[in-house]
């Protein structure tokens, strides 16, 4: 069903949680994965510098994740986008560039005032992308605990 899947990642644990879904979809369909990381650039006097101080570490982490995907036989590549456009626009443009069939992105699932103040990449992607978007909600605390209990029981 899918030939090319874009995994939108900022290097966070939340984005990492979506990688499992991406990997499973890619393995089922023999699809390739294109990890897209947007290096947000600051505006104003600091124009052109990354907004996050740990940007090089994030990029290295994502590169390692791509290598791990390749090591298990998945066709995976990595793109870094940087511009003064919105993160959602840059991810959407990257998906169009690689002719993606699907964009997968994780969300905090906050909504409400927090989203109104800070914005939501997932929400913006749903409005700007020409490619279907799969939004992965965060794993809830009780689900994490249940998964840990299952792992301990299996050992």
Say which CATH number the domain at 48 has: 3.40.50.620
Q: How many angstroms separate the Cα of 99 from the Cα of each of 65, 95, 103, 118?
A: 22, 6, 11, 29
Per run of 10 residues, the mean pLDDT along the chain (length 155 residues) is: 95 90 95 91 52 71 96 96 87 96 85 49 91 87 58 66
The gap from C-alpha 125 to its chain's centroid, in whole angstroms, comes to: 12
Beta-bridge partner residues of 136: 106
pTM value? 0.79
- Domain span at residue 65 reads 4-154
pLDDT value of position 58? 86
Total domains in the fold of the chain: 1
Helix (H, G, I), strand (E, B) or coil at 73: coil
Q: Are the CB atoms for 9 and 33 separated by under 8 Å?
A: no
Q: What is the pLDDT of residue 110?
A: 55
Q: Residue 137 has what DSSP assignment?
A: P
Cross-strand bridge partners of residue 80: 37
Are the C-beta atoms of 4 and 96 separated by less than 8 Å?
Answer: no
């Amino acid at each position: 069903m899918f030939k090319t899947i874009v995994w939108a990642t900022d290097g966070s644990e939340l984005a990492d949680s979506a990688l499992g879904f991406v990997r499973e979809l890619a393995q089922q369909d023999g699809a390739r994965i294109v990890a897209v990381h947007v290096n947000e650039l600051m505006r104003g006097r600091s124009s052109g510098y990354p907004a996050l101080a740990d940007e090089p570490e994030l990029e290295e982490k994502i590169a390692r994740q791509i290598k791990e995907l390749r090591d298990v036989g998945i066709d995976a590549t990595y793109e870094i986008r940087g511009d003064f456009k919105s993160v959602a626009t840059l991810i959407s443009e990257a998906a169009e560039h690689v002719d993606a069939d699907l964009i997968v992105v994780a969300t905090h699932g906050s909504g409400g005032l927090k989203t109104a103040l800070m914005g939501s990449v997932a929400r913006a992607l749903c409005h700007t992308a020409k490619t279907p978007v799969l939004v992965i909600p965060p794993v809830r605390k009780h689900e994490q605990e249940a998964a840990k209990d299952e792992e301990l029981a299996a050992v």
